[in-house]
Chain A
């Protein structure tokens, strides 16, 4: 007999293949319908407005009055001093035309005790061709990342270790990776709704105007702040800042991202996106084990052996809850941790690759359960989940290690 769970899996996971030629033909029809509808809407809207004005004598007079007021205002304004300002509505249009750009980014993560982890990166973004990011810590290059959606590949190179990882991306993963790497995505998010004007300032000698907004649906943090500074003369972004709480090693910590030093019109050069990995670099296959895994497990008592299955079941249920995006169940298994939107995005739909045998160490009463999961964005996590017995509820609960 096939258990019900297997049937469910069979239904969920059955794959379907499609004929690529027909795929393209259908997509062609869809795009054609889309382009046609765009054209129709513009002319239809214009026609409607014109009809409303021309049909009613009141609106005719009102329209005339508006025109007169606008002319008078225009004359008054042109008489005054000539102060340029940012045309916010044109910013996106302008940057969308740009095939390739470079920028620097600083990522700061704050830890208790006023400790801050600071990572600087130099980035090259060339739309569908891909991105390259060189990451520095304390002035030392430690990682170079390439995301090449056209080739469905990503590389993570660690010059210090002389190692690299080659990651095959599915079409879905390749598409997912493009947006967050491109500062234009953040720009669009900031300009997609209400914002507060911050007025004028000066960045590196250039006059800029700023806006500030809160987009919790995007940052996953109700109190997250996003700021955009645009050059008054160029009408191009000069700095983008994002401050929010984000997940770091299983804890929510303040993150600050600053994107600046934009070069908005660099040459599109595919050779920049060529990884050129030296011959003596070794291919990394597995992540290093965490500190906990290096501890030697202690010999279990008979009572503890009886608990093994229950501990393992908590971990399986917890990851299954993430897979099902059942966050109520998640919070039951991990009391006190109510995932926010960002955590839900990261953990939702994850795949369980492996759950190992729970073990304990000599210096702790906590259970450690080795696990390997694949997040939706493609990252594979291999760590130990911590599980403890909760005296109040008289059951095992998850308490760390995610």
Chain B
């Protein structure tokens, strides 16, 4: 997209205005994506906050082959993966329960204002296997092509398409049963 290419070019030239625009344009999308992947709004807020700060610190490293939207989605998805790995380690160490209770409690300065629909959808996502959840969210919300998701998950494009299809079917049955 021309606008995104211009924004990146201006960002690399040192324009903070371009950075503001990228932030305003994509923050909601990334927050939505992270909160759906994690089903934890607090952790999602932290991830997106940290990501933007680190993005701002090294714009010269940005080498874009596809769209900016899917690049940002991949970065956030990778951070979510790292968080999940850490959590798994903590879970085995018995630390997860306490942290989860803190992160799900209501904080005074929330960034995401959760609608009932978002909460319902995130809860439904939480019931899907992580790999299916990731494919649906990255494709439908993050705008990523199946090919890019296949590279991210290290499987074939056919597997990704199957995960997408099965995931949608399961999501539909979960949401229908709630209705």
Interface residues of A (CB under 8 A from B): 1-2, 4, 7-8, 10-12, 14-19, 21-23, 25-27, 29-31, 33-38, 41, 171-172, 175-176, 179, 185, 188-189, 192, 217-218, 345, 348
Contacts and interface: CB of A to CB of B under 8 A. Distances in A.
A313 B3 CA distance: 32
B141 A23 contact: no
B111 A30 contact: no
A19 B56 contact: no
Contacts of B2: 217-218, 345
22 contacts: A4-B172, A10-B175, A14-B121, A18-B28, A21-B109, A22-B45, A23-B27, A27-B24, A30-B23, A30-B55, A34-B16, A34-B19, A34-B56, A34-B59, A35-B16, A37-B58, A175-B3, A175-B21, A175-B25, A179-B3, A188-B13, A218-B5
Contact of B140 (A12, A19, A189): A12
Q: Is the interface of A mostly helix, strand, loop or mixed?
A: helix
Contacts of A16: 28, 31-32, 35, 112-113, 115, 118
Nearest to B6: A179
Contacts, number: 125
A7 B20 contact: no
Interface residues of B, number: 52
B153 to A, nearest CB: 18
B21 A7 contact: no
Question: By DSSP majority rule, is chain B's interface helix, strand, loop, or mixed?
Answer: helix
Contacts of B118: 14-16
Contact of A1 (B16, B113, B136, B176): B176
Contacts of A192: 9
Contacts of B85: none
Contacts of A10: 121, 175
B174 to A, nearest CB: 10
Nearest to A177: B3
B65 interface: no
